[in-house]
Amino acid sequence: GDENLIDGSAFVDAEDENRRKAVGVLAVVGRPNVGKSTLVNRILGRRAAVVEDTPGVTRDRVSYDAEWAGTDFKLVDTGGWEADVEGIDSAIASQAQIAVELADAVIFVVDGQTGLTQTDERIVRMLRSAGKPVTVAVNKIDDQISEYMAAEFWKLGLGEPYPISAMHGRGVGDLLDQAVNEMRHAEKTSGFLTPTHLRRVALVGRPNVGKSSLLNQLAHSERAVVNDLAGTTRDPVDEIVNIDGEDYLFIDTAGIKRRQHKLSGAEYYSSLRTQAAIERSELALVLFDASVPISDQDLKVMSTAVDAGRAVVLVFNKWDLMDEFDRQRMERLWKTEFDRVTWAQRVNLSAKTGWHTNRLSRAMTQALESWDKRIPTGKLNAFLGKIQAAHPHPVRGGKQPHILFATQASTRPPRFVIFATGFLEHGYRRFIERSLREEFGFEGSPIQISVNIRE
Ligand code: GDP
Ligand code: GDP
């Protein structure tokens, strides 16, 4: 069998040599119970989205890879989150707002059986000011006789309402034709996903670690060129930041600057943003506040980036606040909490004073080089043959598993497939990863190794 091995990283489908292509983002929004999750499941063709659909429980997963008529896109689901009953209207509206900001186009779901409500109207106002293309889905129209009920929703002024039954699949094809078309068109004209030739960087970390400060500090040296979107009223989403002569596209800087910390569901919002930014990025700059204890949330953000297979640079900020004691505490932490990312580069800096921010660019370039790196098959096999001869896999049950052949199946991040005659134990796989890293580098990039057993 083919199994996923090291670090429990997600197994990434084989990718070609081209830069990971940026795909459009389609958000599904609407008030609770209109059928958003049902629609998302229908689009994904599996029952994945609603598994933890308990009110008040925040889900980790907010966006999914989807495909329609040959177009790949990210589907952002907002169905799993329920606001506090108090202030429900505004909370839902702002939750939807974030999903909308992250998206190229929106499916706005209303309930055809209930008709229009005030919450719907509130969401419509937000959608208007966001200026994104919207397709209206009038759900729970389960049969043809009920289709006339969709007509009421013309008065939203958002164009033709599409009668659908998310439950039975009725009308969902026509809806998707329209929404995906809008999304593709928006991608081309909005510049949301352009310029694609720049390296895409996600600046992530829990609230207050210093993301905005670092962004300001970096933009300070060379004024940020704002990715201005002509003719729209919304905030610029991404910004070009020049670091040491190199332009990078920083993802979702609007989200970094906006302070949502006090809002109910703040943690959900920030994890939604973080995940979306990481998905669109090639490199994650993961920020920590080194002056306070590292929290589970810090480590979770880091794991999101590593599990997504992105190049990673770890940034320990607020170094100006550190005394000798703090520095020793940090060194101990590095050995314990960060042992799964010993391959990552670490930059200690101060976003406030600018101290050592000039060390970022080298680390970023290095990480991206590793992420792109390809080892020729001949070289790879010669090396594995050598280490195997020196350190064969231990004999188990009278048999000795043996590596037959290996190849690097893809880059971004590097992924290796090893063909072996038996199960390779965890310790041996770690040994292989370590040896590959010692021989070939890969500093700053996760690598993935899978083993294909040929009995
Ligand atoms: P969400 O809160 O917007 O994600 O809504 P859900 O997807 O959880 O659906 C809310 C309720 O509406 C559930 O009881 C669904 O079974 C029901 N529902 C969803 N889609 C349809 C539909 O097309 N027709 C009917 N009759 N009920 C639906
Ligand atoms: P964000 O929520 O991650 O964007 O964090 P901010 O950039 O808003 O920073 C949170 C707080 O930490 C602010 O009060 C900043 O002034 C402060 N801060 C950020 N970076 C540094 C630093 O390097 N040193 C010190 N002493 N304070 C910092």
- Average confidence (pLDDT) over 248-252: 86
What's the pLDDT score for residue 188? 53
What are the pocket residues of ligand 2 if the criterion is a CB atom closer than 6 Å to any ligand atom?
205, 207-213, 256, 317-318, 320-321, 350-352
Closest C-alpha residue for ligand 2 atom 7 = 210
Please tell me the predicted confidence (pLDDT) of residue 57: 37
- The confidence score (pLDDT) of residue 346 equals 95
Is the beta carbon of 31 within 6 A of some atom in ligand 1?
A: no
Q: Compute the mean pLDDT over every residue in the chain, rounded to the nearest whole number.
A: 80
Q: State percent of the chain over pLDDT 70.
A: 78
Residue with tokens 């599409």: 162
Per-residue pLDDT reduced to its tens digit, 20-35:
445 688 999 888 889 9
Of all residues in the chain, what percent carry a pLDDT higher than 90?
44
Q: Is the pLDDT of residue 206 over 80?
A: yes
In this prediction, residues 355-382 reach a mean pLDDT of: 94
Q: What are 88's two structure tokens? A: 């429900």
- Closest of 195, 163, 194 to residue 178, by C-alpha: 163
pLDDT above 90 (res 311): yes
* Residue 162 main-chain phi, psi, to 5 deg: -95, 110
Spell out a b/e string for 274-297, using b for 16 or more CB atoms within 10 Å of the CB, else e. bbbbbbbbbbbbbbbbbbeebeeb
Query: Which is more confident, 55 or 416?
Result: 416
Among the residue ranges 7-11, 95-99, 223-227, the one predicted with the least confidence is 7-11
Q: How far is the CA of 35 from the centre of ligand 1 (A)?
A: 4
Output the pLDDT for position 69.
86
Q: Is 33 annotated as a binding residue?
A: yes
- First and final CA of the chain: distance in angstroms? 10
**Structural tokens at position 10:** 């997600």
pLDDT at 355 over 50: yes
Ligand 2 mutation pick, 213, 250, 350, max ligand atoms within 8 A of CB: 213
Which residues, 6 or more positions from 105, have their beta carbon under 8 angstroms from its beta carbon?
Answer: 24, 25, 26, 27, 132, 133, 134, 135, 179, 180, 182, 183, 186
The full length of the chain comes to 455
Task: Name the closest-CA residue to atom 19, ligand 1.
Answer: 35
Q: Is 394 helix (H, G, I), strand (E, B) or coil?
A: coil
**24 annotated as ligand-binding:** no
Q: Collect all residues with Cβ–Cβ distance below 8 Å to 414 and sequence separation of at least 6.
A: 370, 371, 373, 374, 375, 408, 442, 445, 447, 448
Residue 54 CA to ligand 2 centre (angstroms):
35
Closest ligand, as measured to the CA of 216: 2
pLDDT at 249 over 70: yes
State residue 455's pLDDT score.
Answer: 66
- Residue 195 has a pLDDT of 46
User: How many Cα neighbours within 13 Å face the side chain of 286?
Assistant: 26
User: DSSP class of residue 221?
Assistant: H
Q: Is the pLDDT of residue 46 over 80?
A: no
Give the model confidence (pLDDT) of 315-339 as tens digits: 999 999 999 999 999 999 998 889 8
> With 60 as the cut, is the pLDDT of residue 7 above it?
no
Secondary structure letter of residue 329 according to DSSP: H
Q: What is the pLDDT of residue 85?
A: 42
Averaged pLDDT, 381-386: 94
Higher per-residue confidence, 138 vs 145? 138
- Look up the pTM and report it: 0.63
Closest CA to 127 of 96, 92, 150, 87: 96
* Ligand 2: centre distance to CA 237 (Å): 21
> Closest ligand 1 atom, CA of 109?
3
